[in-house]
Amino acid sequence: MKPALNPVDEEKYSQLAPLAVIAFLLGVASLLAFIGPLFYLVPIAAVGVALIALGKISRSDGVLSGARLARLGIAVATVCLVASLVRGGVRDRMLKDQAGATSLRWLQMMTAGDVDSARELLTNDAAGSLVHREPGGQQPPVEELERMIRERLQADSLVKDFAGVKNPLIKVTAAGEPVSDAGRTIVRVEAVMGDPATGSHRHVHLQLVRNSFYETQGEPWRIDPWAVDAAHGAH
């Protein structure tokens, strides 16, 4: 009969489970989850590998060790995933609030007829869409383009139809989830505008864009396309 192994002998003959090491390393790599949702797969993988490692260790009759390392990998991965989800939710809420606030300010500029300030909050694409250009025609000077843009803004229904409205109702009703696209952050905003005197109202659909260049200019959010529905009477 072979002599029973004492605890020292058991520790000597146990082998560190490779999956436990991998689980721990994936747990440390779970810090990548703070970069974005694509990296949420790292902590999920860490937990999965750790559970497999724990199963193998428990069935090895002491041949494999590393249960503590695998559990540590689970703990680190879980903390990173939960923290990144909370951080992402807070960030998205902040971006939506910022986009909504910029939309409200721009609509107030338009209804007040302040087209110069409203122009400063437009993206280049939005401003360019206001200028009709003949295919193959010569581009007018910048000063002429700016004059045309402001004329089109002055003729927009947000300016024209609210020119005589005292204290118009302007309310942001919804902001969509932020979308990242080629270095930009895009948020779609819905707003309602109305004439308190008549009870008529209309819905406005805006798309706001944020990027690093706009941030350096002091206005991180800009209005891209917008659309105004026809006016509705009081319900």
Q: What is the CATH number of the domain that holds 142?
A: 3.10.450
Q: Which amino acid is at 187?
A: V
Q: Pick the last residue of a domain from 32, 58, 90.
A: 90
Selection from 225, 166, 231 nearest residue 193 by Cα: 231
Same-domain check for residues 75 and 129: no
Q: From residue 55, how far is each of 18, 52, 74 by CA, in Å? A: 13, 5, 14
Within a domain: residue 1? no
Same-domain check for residues 19 and 61: yes
Same-domain check for residues 134 and 169: yes
Q: Pick the last residue of a domain from 61, 90, 119.
A: 90
> Structurally, how many domains does the chain consist of?
2
Decide if pLDDT at 3 tops 60.
no
**Left (φ > 0), alpha (ψ -120 to 50) or beta: where does 136 sit?**
left
For residue 64, the SS3 value is: strand
> What is the rounded distance in angstroms from the CA atom of residue 162 to the CA atom of residue 185?
30
Same-domain check for residues 63 and 104: no
Instruction: Round the average pLDDT of the chain to a whole number and report it.
Output: 89
Portion of the chain with pLDDT greater than 70, in percent: 91
Within a domain: residue 235? no
Q: Pick the last residue of a domain from 90, 123, 140.
A: 90
Decide if pLDDT at 132 tops 80.
no
Decide if pLDDT at 185 tops 80.
yes
Can you give the pLDDT at residue 209? 96
Decide if pLDDT at 62 tops 80.
yes
Can you give the pLDDT at residue 11? 46
Domain that holds residue 107: 96-228
For residue 219, the SS3 value is: coil
Decide if pLDDT at 9 tops 60.
no
Within a domain: residue 2? no
Same-domain check for residues 107 and 214: yes
Within a domain: residue 234? no
Can you give the pLDDT at residue 217? 85
Within a domain: residue 59? yes
Decide if pLDDT at 8 tops 70.
no
What's the gap between Cα 42 and its chain centre? 21
Within a domain: residue 150? yes
Decide if pLDDT at 114 tops 90.
yes
- Structure-block tokens of residue 73: 């990998």
Q: Which one-letter DSSP state was computed for residue 164?
A: T
- H helix runs in the chain, sequence order: 7-13, 18-29, 41-58, 67-111, 115-120, 124-128, 142-155, 157-160, 212-216
Same-domain check for residues 110 and 192: yes
Q: Give the best-scoring range by mean pLDDT among 53-57, 182-186, 193-197, 216-220.
A: 53-57
> What is the rounded distance in angstroms from the CA atom of residue 21 to the CA atom of residue 23?
5
Contact 190, 203 (CB under 8 A): yes
Same-domain check for residues 119 and 78: no
| Region 23-41 average pLDDT | 92
User: What's the whole-model pTM score?
Assistant: 0.70
Same-domain check for residues 150 and 129: yes
Within a domain: residue 43? yes
Can you give the pLDDT at residue 174? 96
